[in-house]
Amino acid sequence: MSILYLSPGRDPEPWLAAFARAMPTEKIVVWPDVPDPAAIDIALVWKQPPGELQRYPNLRLISSFGAGVEHLVTDPEIPAHIPMVRIVEDRLTIGMAEFVALHVLRRHRWLDEIEANQKAKIWKWLPPRDTPSTTVGILGLGALGLAAAQVIRALGFKVAGWSRTPKLAEGIECFHGPDQLKAFLGRSAHVACLLPVTPDTRGLLNRQAFAAMPRGSHIINAARGPIVVDADLLAALDSGHLDWATLDVFHEEPLPVTHPFWAHPRVTVTPHNAADSLPDYVVPTMVENIDRVRSGRPLLNLVDRARGY
């Protein structure tokens, strides 16, 4: 049997090289050049054309190239019996914690203002902000959110977290469910979104959510663009209610050149690289699940299709 590499627009070479090191005898077929669909038992997938995954009658496992799986759970043509797994991997997790810490500290320590002052040759002392009395809220306490929360806590901030189900995590004030969202947002000077996009989270960061955040707060979205209502975010920034938005993900990617986020003085745009799946780190986790499915053992990091993540 063979593995299918199905990721339009992603360079296969580094992945094939990492697989050649990890599974030297394995055959990898790069989509769309698939001479024998019946020979495929595993598909490694990112943003597949809808319906494509029905073409492989002997498929036994679908692995996302990333942590996010909305491209899989929203494809109704993927046969229901095929398990899907996603990437949970330490380098990716630490990368996301770095991103959240970087941007919280950037705002907390006035870095944007200091850089602007340097360009204008202005020597201006800015009042230090008190770390222990500043709360950073993390939306989503999963693999990425929990790690980010722990790093932020280690820096001395107060940390709050919000999830779907109740959680207990040392040093983190935990909130869950729609009823506790407002209380969570209301204490957070920085809110970092690390939620999956699902029918429940799409549009969650809207006018009401921004109004619930304290005046002068900072929103970071490193999850998925459609969780934010762009027009509501722009209105909250323009009214001065929100201080800043750091955005790594967008409704449309690449972010269209005409989008107002590009030139907004209080928005930082990063090109969906908060945390990347790097072949040498990720391939061993894929190989583990390939071995497991082929030997009939339980899979790791299974996606729950009904839940949507």
Interface positions with ligand OXD (CB under 6 A): 66-68, 87, 277
Of the CA atoms within 13 Å of residue 296, those in its CB half-sphere come to 0
Q: Which residues in 49-68 contact ligand NDP (CB under 6 A)? A: 66-68
Tell me the C-alpha distance between 269 and 255, whole Å.
Answer: 9
- When the beta carbons of 40 and 163 are compared against ligand NDP, the nearer one is 163
Residue 60 designated active-site = no
Among 44, 97, 185, 195, binds ligand NDP (CB under 6 A): 195
Minimum separation from the CB atom of position 68 to ligand OXD (A): 3
143 near ligand NDP, judged by CB under 6 A: yes
Nearest to 223 by CA among 80, 68, 84, 98: 68
By CB under 6 A, which span of 14-22, 112-120, 193-201, 287-295 interacts with ligand NDP?
Answer: 193-201
Taking the complex as a whole, the smallest distance from the CB of residue 283 to ligand OXD amounts, in Å, to: 14
Q: Rounded to the nearest whole angstrom, what is the least distance from the CB of residue 248 to ligand NDP in the complex?
A: 5
Q: Which residue is nearest to ligand OXD (CB)?
A: 66
Least Cβ distance, residue 266 to ligand NDP (angstroms): 20
Q: Considering CB distances under 5 to 8 angstroms, the limit depending on partner class, which of ligand OXD, ligand NDP, none binds residue 194?
A: ligand NDP
Question: Is 196 an interacting residue with respect to ligand NDP (CB under 6 A)?
Answer: yes
Q: Among ligand OXD, ligand NDP, none, what does residue 164 contact (CB within 5–8 Å per kind)?
A: ligand NDP
Contacting ligand NDP (CB under 6 A), which of 104, 141, 185, 191? 141
How many Å apart are CA 105 and CA 71, to the nearest integer? 32
Residue closer to ligand NDP by CB (options 243, 248) is 248
In the complex, the smallest distance separating the C-beta of residue 225 from ligand OXD, rounded to whole angstroms, is 11
Considering the candidates 224, 251, 264, 266, report the single residue annotated as catalytic.
224
* Calpha distance 154→148 (Å, rounded): 10
Which of 109, 251, 272, 305 is flagged as catalytic? 272
Catalytic residue list contains 190:
no
Per CB under 6 A, residues contacting ligand NDP are: 66-68, 88, 140-145, 162-165, 194-196, 198, 200-201, 222-224, 248-249, 272, 274-275, 309
